[in-house]
Amino acid sequence: DTGVSQDPRHKITKRGQNVTFRCDPISEHNRLYWYRQTLGQGPEFLTYFQNEAQLEKSRLLSDRFSAERPKGSFSTLEIQRTEQGDSAMYLCASITPRTGYGNTIYFGEGSWLTVV
Amino acid sequence: AQSVTQLDSHVSVSEGTPVLLRCNYSSSYSPSLFWYVQHPNKGLQLLLKYTSAATLVKGINGFEAEFKKSETSFHLTKPSAHMSDAAEYFCVVSDLSGSARQLTFGSGTQLTVLP
C-alpha cells in the first residue's frame, strides 16, 4: 500500500496519560499535515511540515501537543497529559507541491483517540 | 483569508434520484477546490478537484462538480444516487499559492440515501 498510513488506528487512554500517533506519508511527498476531527465536525488544521521543518501551527495546538518530523519522512504527534476534550480523530495528510495549482492532498484513515 | 460554507448539513434522497450538495467558498486568490467523502469510521477519500482548468469537473463514482466563479460556488452533483453513496461529504478550499498554507474544510453534509 503506497498511501498515507497512520498508527495506531484506535487508542483508548486514561486522562492524564501521554499518547503518540505516527504518520507515514506517501514517500515522495515533502509536505505533511495534521488535522483533528471531532464528531459531527469537519477536520481542523493543527500543523504542517515542509520536509523536516514545522512551518505553521494552529492556535488549537496547545503546549501539550508536539509534532515532529525528524528526517522529513514520517511524523509523530504527541499529546501529553491527555484531557477528555482531546478525544477526536487525528488525521494525517501529505502532498507534494508543484508550481501552480492542482495539488492533490492524500489523507490517511486517521487515528481515533478516546480519553476516559 | 479563505472559507467554505456547505449550505446543507443533511441531505436525504431516494435511491435513483439526483444528488445536489451545495458549497460556496471565499478566497483571496484563485483557489483549488476539492470534494472529499468520508464513510463511517473511515478516512477521507478524494472525489474530485478543481484546478483552474475545466470548470466542469468529473470525479469518481459518477460525481461531478461545476466551478462557478461569478457565484463562488462549487456544487457537487450525481444524476442517480446509490445506497453506497450514503456518507459525509466535505467541500474543501486550498490556497497553496499565497500565505494560507492549509486546507479549509466546510462543516460537512451528511447524505442519506433512502431505499
What is the distance in angstroms between the Cα of B78 and the nearest Cα belonging to chain A?
22
Q: What is the structure's pLDDT at B99? A: 42
- Mutation for A interface: B5, B96, B104, most A CBs within 10 A: B96
**β-bridge pairing A19-24 and B10-14:** unpaired
Cell of A9: 488506528
Q: Cα separation of A21 and A109, whole Å?
A: 12
Q: Cα separation of B80 and B85, whole Å?
A: 10
What is the distance in angstroms between the Cα of A70 and the nearest Cα belonging to chain B?
21
% of chain B residues with pLDDT over 90: 63
Q: Give the number of residues written for chain A.
A: 116
Across the interface, whether the CB atoms of B101 and A55 are under 8 A apart is answered: yes
The strand ranges marked E within chain B are: 3-6, 10-14, 19-21, 23-26, 32-38, 44-50, 56-58, 64-68, 73-78, 87-94, 103-105, 109-114
Question: pLDDT class for B82, splitting at 50, 70, 90?
Answer: very high
The radius of gyration of chain A's CA atoms, rounded to the nearest angstrom, is 14
Q: What is the structure's pLDDT at A98? A: 60
- 3-state secondary structure at position A52: coil
% of chain B residues with pLDDT over 70: 93
B79 phi-psi bin (left φ>0, alpha ψ -120 to 50, beta other): alpha
Q: What is the structure's pLDDT at B103? A: 80
ω before A25 within 30° of 0 (cis)?
A: no
Q: Is the pLDDT of residue B70 over 60?
A: yes
Across the interface, whether the CB atoms of B102 and A33 are under 8 A apart is answered: yes
- Which chain A residues have a beta carbon less than 8 Å from that of B46? 104-106
What's the half-sphere exposure (Cβ side, CA atoms, 13 Å) at A45? 22
- B51-63 burial, b at 16+ Cβ within 10 Å, e below that, comes to beeeeebebeeeb
The partner residue sitting opposite B51, judged by closest CB among A45, A97, A102, is A102
CA distances, B44 to each of A3, A85, A103, B22, B68 (Å): 12, 22, 16, 18, 24
Q: What are the phi and psi torsion angles at A21 (to 5°)?
A: -115, 145
Q: What is the structure's pLDDT at B78? A: 98
Question: pLDDT class for B98, splitting at 50, 70, 90?
Answer: very low
Q: What is the structure's pLDDT at A100? A: 46
Across the interface, whether the CB atoms of B49 and A48 are under 8 A apart is answered: no
Q: What is the structure's pLDDT at B100? A: 42
Q: What is the largest CA-CA distance in chain A?
A: 45
Give the residue-averaged pLDDT of B37-62. 87
H or E segment at A49? strand A44-50
Q: Average pLDDT by consecutive 10-residue portion of chain A (116 residues)? A: 86 97 91 90 89 87 93 94 96 74 77 96
Interval B11-39: pLDDT, tens: 999 999 999 999 999 877 778 889 999 99
Q: Is the pLDDT of residue B76 over 70?
A: yes
Q: What is the structure's pLDDT at B53? A: 73
Across the interface, whether the CB atoms of B42 and A109 are under 8 A apart is answered: yes
